Amino acid sequence: MTNNLTPDLFRVVDANLNRLKEGIRVVEDILRYRDNNKELSSKLKELRHLCQVKETKELLKYRDTNNDVLRSSIKSELNRSGVENIIIANFKRAQESSRVLEELYKLNNIEYSENFKYIRYELYNLEKKVLLD
Protein backbone atom coordinates (compact mmCIF):
# COMPACT_ATOMS: atom_id res chain seq x y z
CA MET A 1 0.00 0.00 0.00
CA THR A 2 1.22 3.48 -0.71
CA ASN A 3 1.14 6.58 1.45
CA ASN A 4 -2.14 7.59 -0.19
CA LEU A 5 -3.89 4.91 1.83
CA THR A 6 -2.83 5.74 5.37
CA PRO A 7 -3.04 3.54 8.47
CA ASP A 8 -6.16 5.35 9.68
CA LEU A 9 -7.81 4.17 6.46
CA PHE A 10 -6.51 0.60 6.85
CA ARG A 11 -9.05 0.17 9.64
CA VAL A 12 -11.82 1.39 7.32
CA VAL A 13 -10.69 -1.05 4.62
CA ASP A 14 -10.50 -3.94 7.09
CA ALA A 15 -13.98 -3.28 8.50
CA ASN A 16 -15.55 -2.95 5.06
CA LEU A 17 -13.79 -5.99 3.68
CA ASN A 18 -15.15 -8.03 6.59
CA ARG A 19 -18.63 -6.52 6.24
CA LEU A 20 -18.66 -7.23 2.51
CA LYS A 21 -17.74 -10.88 2.92
CA GLU A 22 -20.12 -11.37 5.84
CA GLY A 23 -23.06 -9.82 3.98
CA ILE A 24 -22.47 -12.00 0.95
CA ARG A 25 -22.07 -15.10 3.12
CA VAL A 26 -25.43 -14.61 4.86
CA VAL A 27 -27.31 -14.47 1.54
CA GLU A 28 -25.18 -17.27 0.08
CA ASP A 29 -25.98 -19.61 2.95
CA ILE A 30 -29.72 -18.91 2.81
CA LEU A 31 -29.80 -19.63 -0.91
CA ARG A 32 -27.59 -22.69 -0.48
CA TYR A 33 -29.15 -24.40 2.52
CA ARG A 34 -32.74 -23.15 2.58
CA ASP A 35 -33.38 -22.88 -1.15
CA ASN A 36 -30.90 -25.46 -2.50
CA ASN A 37 -30.11 -22.92 -5.22
CA LYS A 38 -26.78 -24.04 -6.60
CA GLU A 39 -26.62 -21.40 -9.35
CA LEU A 40 -27.12 -18.32 -7.18
CA SER A 41 -25.24 -19.57 -4.13
CA SER A 42 -22.30 -20.49 -6.39
CA LYS A 43 -22.30 -17.00 -7.91
CA LEU A 44 -22.31 -15.44 -4.44
CA LYS A 45 -19.49 -17.74 -3.35
CA GLU A 46 -17.50 -16.69 -6.42
CA LEU A 47 -18.02 -13.01 -5.53
CA ARG A 48 -17.08 -13.62 -1.90
CA HIS A 49 -13.81 -15.17 -3.03
CA LEU A 50 -13.08 -12.04 -5.08
CA CYS A 51 -13.27 -9.97 -1.86
CA GLN A 52 -9.59 -10.20 -1.13
CA VAL A 53 -6.54 -8.00 -0.95
CA LYS A 54 -2.94 -9.10 -0.60
CA GLU A 55 -2.33 -6.86 2.41
CA THR A 56 -4.45 -8.81 4.93
CA LYS A 57 -1.76 -8.89 7.64
CA GLU A 58 -1.12 -5.17 7.27
CA LEU A 59 -4.83 -4.47 7.73
CA LEU A 60 -5.01 -6.71 10.79
CA LYS A 61 -2.37 -4.59 12.53
CA TYR A 62 -4.84 -1.70 12.59
CA ARG A 63 -7.99 -3.63 13.58
CA ASP A 64 -9.42 -2.18 16.78
CA THR A 65 -12.85 -3.65 17.44
CA ASN A 66 -12.71 -2.84 21.16
CA ASN A 67 -12.65 0.89 20.42
CA ASP A 68 -15.25 0.91 17.65
CA VAL A 69 -17.51 3.83 18.55
CA LEU A 70 -20.55 2.20 16.85
CA ARG A 71 -19.96 -1.37 17.97
CA SER A 72 -23.32 -1.65 19.74
CA SER A 73 -26.29 -2.61 17.60
CA ILE A 74 -29.07 -0.15 17.01
CA LYS A 75 -32.71 -1.20 17.39
CA SER A 76 -33.35 -1.63 13.65
CA GLU A 77 -30.41 -4.05 13.41
CA LEU A 78 -31.96 -6.30 16.06
CA ASN A 79 -35.34 -6.72 14.39
CA ARG A 80 -36.00 -8.68 11.24
CA SER A 81 -39.54 -9.55 10.20
CA GLY A 82 -38.51 -12.46 8.01
CA VAL A 83 -35.84 -14.07 5.89
CA GLU A 84 -36.50 -11.67 3.02
CA ASN A 85 -35.58 -8.76 5.31
CA ILE A 86 -32.35 -10.55 6.25
CA ILE A 87 -31.54 -11.01 2.57
CA ILE A 88 -32.28 -7.34 1.78
CA ALA A 89 -30.25 -6.06 4.74
CA ASN A 90 -27.26 -8.18 3.82
CA PHE A 91 -27.34 -7.30 0.12
CA LYS A 92 -27.39 -3.62 1.12
CA ARG A 93 -24.57 -4.13 3.64
CA ALA A 94 -22.42 -5.81 1.01
CA GLN A 95 -23.19 -3.24 -1.69
CA GLU A 96 -22.37 -0.33 0.61
CA SER A 97 -19.13 -1.93 1.74
CA SER A 98 -18.02 -2.67 -1.80
CA ARG A 99 -18.63 1.00 -2.65
CA VAL A 100 -16.47 2.15 0.28
CA LEU A 101 -13.67 -0.17 -0.85
CA GLU A 102 -14.03 0.93 -4.45
CA GLU A 103 -13.65 4.57 -3.43
CA LEU A 104 -10.76 4.10 -1.00
CA TYR A 105 -8.73 2.01 -3.42
CA LYS A 106 -8.98 4.80 -5.98
CA LEU A 107 -6.25 6.35 -3.83
CA ASN A 108 -3.65 3.73 -4.62
CA ASN A 109 -4.80 0.61 -6.43
CA ILE A 110 -7.14 1.04 -9.39
CA GLU A 111 -7.19 -2.74 -9.98
CA TYR A 112 -8.63 -3.31 -6.50
CA SER A 113 -11.03 -0.42 -7.02
CA GLU A 114 -12.34 -1.89 -10.26
CA ASN A 115 -12.67 -5.32 -8.62
CA PHE A 116 -14.86 -3.92 -5.86
CA LYS A 117 -16.90 -1.98 -8.43
CA TYR A 118 -17.46 -5.23 -10.35
CA ILE A 119 -18.56 -6.96 -7.15
CA ARG A 120 -20.98 -4.13 -6.35
CA TYR A 121 -22.68 -4.28 -9.74
CA GLU A 122 -22.90 -8.06 -9.60
CA LEU A 123 -24.56 -7.74 -6.18
CA TYR A 124 -27.11 -5.31 -7.64
CA ASN A 125 -27.94 -7.84 -10.36
CA LEU A 126 -28.13 -10.76 -7.94
CA GLU A 127 -30.30 -8.81 -5.51
CA LYS A 128 -32.86 -8.22 -8.26
CA LYS A 129 -32.73 -11.85 -9.35
CA VAL A 130 -33.09 -13.22 -5.80
CA LEU A 131 -35.89 -10.88 -4.73
CA LEU A 132 -37.93 -10.59 -7.92
CA ASP A 133 -37.54 -13.91 -9.76
> What confidence tens digit (pLDDT) does each residue in 107-120 have?
989 999 999 999 99
Q: pTM value? A: 0.87
CA–CA distance, 54 with 51 (Å, rounded to integer)? 10
CA–CA distance, 43 with 8 (Å, rounded to integer)? 33
Q: Is the pLDDT of residue 53 over 80?
A: yes
Q: Is the pLDDT of residue 73 over 70?
A: no
Q: Per-residue pLDDT averaged across 114-131, rounded?
A: 98
Q: Is the pLDDT of residue 48 over 70?
A: yes
CA–CA distance, 70 with 67 (Å, rounded to integer)? 9
CA–CA distance, 133 with 129 (Å, rounded to integer)? 5
Q: Is 9 in contact with 61 (CB distance < 8 Å)?
A: no
